[in-house]
């Protein structure tokens, strides 16, 4: 992959100005996603995964004064420089779309599925009449393999199961054939068997359309099955990124290592689950140096300064003094 990346995020910052202080939810994040590639963003709750995704779409939490900085270039165009109107009319939907976490709450309960899935076709002028939009919506539901789509268009969200709702949400998201699809923990709220179905669906959508996918999850088994590359986030920053195989076989950052060790394996004799002791730092006043240092078993005095990015080759990059010193 030597072509220009589809999405290039550089030094992205999202600071939420709250009464009790400035929360640096995303604090200088850089990564890229290529066409047809899936990037998995992993990390524990509160590490800024979701906020990073929302920043790309410029959808900040509404009741807080959020500010974005850095650049988010999609096909070379910086989304952070666009007007809100441009974001709504040109970007959200046709260029970037999102599948959110909880299918039970992501659909409007008082409108039919047909109304909601046909919307994007109308807003982005892909069709002219409501009738055409409904036909397109039926096609969309067929694409996410919902049986008898024409009939289902007239149903309300509460008449669908969780897995089916997530398919509807996916149909909404891919309605306008976006270049980039952000899936924010799309399977967290679903049964394991349904999770596999949704993952297979995402994979087949990607094969059909070459869409770039950002998959946010804390489930590392999903990452291994679907992603090409991984970015590990901790306390608002990406601390290690690389190909799935490199991260799994050769994790460099002690946090990544601890995360991988926390996965329980069958047949392993272990009385307790491995956990990472301690809590992530407060994002209002994060430490100046490495943010994991407080909990790191391999802490050194140099960790009081922020570690530089070390490129280990083949786009495997880690921010840790251990790697820097080698």
Partner 1 sequence: MRIVFAKGLLNALISMLGASLIIFIMSRLSGDPLSLLLPMDAPQSAVQAMRHELGLDRPMWDQYLIFLWKAVQGDFGRSYRWQMPAIELVFERLPATIYLAMAAFAFSLALAIPLGVLSAVRRGSWIDQIARIIAMLGQAVPSFWVGLLLILVFAVNLQWLPAFGADGVQHVILPAIALGWYPVAAQTRVIRSGMLEVLDSDYIRMGRAVGTPERLLIWKYAFRNALLPLVTIMGVYFAYMLSGSFVVETVFAWPGLGRTVVEAVFARDYPVVQAGVLITSILFVLSNFLVDLSYSIIDPRIRL
CB of 24 to partner 1, least distance (A): 22
Nearer to partner 1, 87 or 323 (CB): 87
CB of 7 to partner 1, least distance (A): 16
Nearer to partner 1, 94 or 236 (CB): 94
CB of 239 to partner 1, least distance (A): 27
- Widest CA span of the chain, in angstroms? 67
DSSP collapsed to 3 states, 131-178: HHHHHHHHHHHHHCCCCCHHHHCCCCHHHCCHHHHHHHHHHHHCCCCC
Place of tokens 């200088």: 28
69 belongs to the binding site for partner 1 (CB under 8 A): no
Task: Give Cβ neighbours of residue 65 (< 8 Å, ≥ 6 apart).
Answer: 16, 17, 18
CB of 295 to partner 1, least distance (A): 32
**What's the distance, CA 249 to chain centroid?**
23
Binding letters toward partner 1, positions 128-167, x by CB under 8 A: ----------------------------x-x---------
Q: If we measure between CA atoms, which residue out of 112, 275, 62, 99 comes closest to residue 198?
A: 99
Report 75-114 residues binding partner 1 (CB under 8 A).
88-89, 91-94, 97-98, 100-102, 105-111
Q: If we measure between CA atoms, which residue out of 197, 223, 190 comes closest to residue 49?
A: 223
**# chain residues binding partner 1, by CB under 8 A:** 35
CB of 310 to partner 1, least distance (A): 35
Nearer to partner 1, 138 or 318 (CB): 138
187 belongs to the binding site for partner 1 (CB under 8 A): no
Q: What is the DSSP string of 33-81?
A: E-TT-EEEEE--TTSSHHHHHHHHHT---TTSEEEEEEEEEETTEEGGG
| Contact positions vs partner 1 (CB under 8 A) | 57, 59, 61-63, 88-89, 91-94, 97-98, 100-102, 105-111, 116, 119-120, 123-124, 156, 158, 169, 172-173, 175-176
């Amino acid at each position: 992959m030597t072509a220009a990346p589809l999405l290039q995020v550089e030094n992205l910052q999202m600071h939420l100005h709250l009464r009790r202080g400035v929360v640096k939810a995303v604090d200088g994040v850089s990564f890229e996603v290529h066409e047809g590639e899936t990037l998995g963003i992993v990390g524990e709750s509160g590490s800024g995964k979701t906020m990073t995704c929302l920043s790309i779409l410029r959808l900040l939490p509404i009741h807080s004064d959020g500010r974005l900085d850095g650049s988010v270039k999609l096909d070379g165009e910086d989304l952070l420089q666009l007007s809100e109107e441009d974001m709504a009319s040109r970007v959200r939907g046709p260029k970037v779309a999102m599948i959110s976490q909880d299918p039970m709450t992501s659909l409007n309960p008082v409108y039919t599925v047909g109304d909601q899935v046909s919307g994007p076709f109308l807003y982005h002028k892909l069709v002219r009449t409501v009738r055409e939009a409904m036909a397109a919506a039926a096609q969309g539901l067929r694409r996410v393999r919902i049986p008898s789509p024409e009939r289902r268009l007239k149903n309300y969200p509460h008449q669908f199961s969780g897995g089916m709702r997530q398919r509807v949400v996916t149909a909404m998201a891919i309605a306008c054939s976006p270049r980039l699809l952000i899936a924010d923990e799309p399977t967290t709220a679903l049964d394991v068997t349904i999770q596999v179905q949704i993952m297979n669906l995402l994979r087949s959508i990607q094969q059909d359309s070459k869409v770039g996918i950002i998959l946010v999850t804390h489930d590392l088994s999903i990452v291994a099955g679907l992603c090409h590359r991984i970015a590990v986030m901790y306390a608002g920053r990406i601390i290690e990124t690389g190909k799935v195989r490199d991260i799994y076989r050769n994790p460099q950052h002690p946090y990544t290592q601890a995360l991988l060790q926390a996965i329980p394996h069958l047949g392993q004799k272990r009385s307790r689950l491995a956990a990472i002791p301690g809590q992530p730092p407060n994002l209002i006043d994060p430490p100046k140096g490495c943010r994991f240092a407080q909990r790191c078993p391999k802490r050194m005095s140099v960790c009081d300064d922020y570690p530089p990015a070390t490129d280990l080759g083949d786009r495997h990059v880690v921010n840790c003094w251990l790697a820097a010193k080698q």
